[in-house]
Amino acid sequence: MPTSHIVRDGPQGLPEDLLEEMVETFKALSDPTRAQIIFLLTKREYSVNELSELVPVSASGVSHHLAKLRAIRLVNARRDGNQIFYSIDDAHVGALFREALFHLDHVRQNLPDHPAYFEALAE
Amino acid sequence: MPTSHIVRDGPQGLPEDLLEEMVETFKALSDPTRAQIIFLLTKREYSVNELSELVPVSASGVSHHLAKLRAIRLVNARRDGNQIFYSIDDAHVGALFREALFHLDHVRQNLPDHPAYFEALAE
DNA sequence: ACTATAACTGAACATCTGCTCAGATACTTT
DNA sequence: AAAGTATCTGAGCAGATGTTCAGTTATAGT
């Protein structure tokens, strides 16, 4: 079987490998725990224990998430003695959040009432 | 049990409801089939059958996906006789793709070799 | 009315995912 | 070197997800 499980990409579609990488990035943001972690890390660096106190998951669970995020190079790890601090140095990740908020606002504007979303990203 | 399964949001985190909506948006883009569909729809409108010929999924499967995308208001449906044409009127969705590509390019630049990603979005 | 085509829907199934637990590894302090 | 703290890792389980199949609904043409 040659490429049967692979998404067909005609001239119109995104090339297969690019699509796959993009999906990995979105997948990283598509879980509440990970999304919260990544959002926190766009603000400043946190240790694993710090993060596990800010999200409702054990330190082990957080570590698992961070391992995945490391694998796709979305976060940086820095060791300081006993603990390891994670951060995001890619400004585009913050931009990704911002665009998502823009989209949500667009959706809301075509609705009866629309709250102010953007404040969430105010530094 | 009050809010045990809910992501804690201290002063640092994103508010719970906003986080949830954002996650829904990213979830929509975190599957290869859906991502390809959405990318195609950022270019022009397609019928269900057309889409099912561009992605490796039955028309039924595509319909299921579109139902989910409709539920979170990511796509528009327009009936024309027998068939239904789907599209995206929200420019921010295209921007979301662009930012993801920027991120991927950033990741690649810190690597031995980096391909030219952006061309994929050239009209 | 009947047939044909397009799209939708519910059910069932296999796979994937996120979580915790138990234990391993790494560093620090005494 | 022993104990303490922080992080990682593999296993296992419950719940979510993507797909197809079978059947239904909607419109078009004859």
Q: Quick one: pLDDT at residue A36?
A: 97
Mean pLDDT score across all residues of chain A = 88
Q: A119: nearest CA in chain B? A: B14
Q: If DSSP states are collapsed to H, E and C, what string results for chain A?
A: CCCCCCCCCCCCCCCHHHHHHHHHHHHHHCCHHHHHHHHHHHHCCEEHHHHHHHCCCCHHHHHHHHHHHHHCCCCEEEEECCEEEEECCCHHHHHHHHHHHHHHHHHHHCCCCCCCCHHHHCC
CB atoms A39 and B23 under 8 Å: no
Whole-angstrom distance, CA of residue A45 vs CA of residue A89? 10
Give the predicted TM-score (pTM) of the model: 0.89
Whole-angstrom CA distances from B56 to B43, B60, B61, B64 are: 19, 12, 10, 14
Nearest to B26 among A13, A35, A73 (CB): A35
A18-55 per-position pLDDT tens digit:
999 999 999 999 999 999 999 999 999 999 999 999 99
pLDDT band with cut points at 50, 70 and 90 for residue A60: very high
Q: How many CB pairs under 8 A join A and B?
A: 152
Whole-angstrom distance, CA of residue B70 vs CA of residue B65? 9
Chain B, 6-35: which CBs lie within 7 Å of strand C? Answer: none
Whole-angstrom distance, CA of residue B102 vs CA of residue B107? 9
Res. A2: pLDDT tops 50 = no
Q: What are phi and psi of A78, to 5 degrees?
A: -135, 125
Whole-angstrom distance, CA of residue B19 vs CA of residue A94? 14
Res. B110: pLDDT tops 60 = yes
Q: Quick one: pLDDT at residue A3?
A: 38
Task: Tell me which of A19, A99, A118 to substitute to probe the interface with B (most B C-beta atoms closer than 10 Å).
Answer: A99
A68-85 per-position pLDDT tens digit:
999 999 999 999 999 999
Whole-angstrom distance, CA of residue A59 vs CA of residue A7? 36
What is the average pLDDT across B34-63? 97
Q: Quick one: pLDDT at residue B52?
A: 98
Mean pLDDT score across all residues of chain B = 88
Whole-angstrom distance, CA of residue A51 vs CA of residue A57? 9
How does strand A46-47 pair with strand B76-80? Answer: unpaired
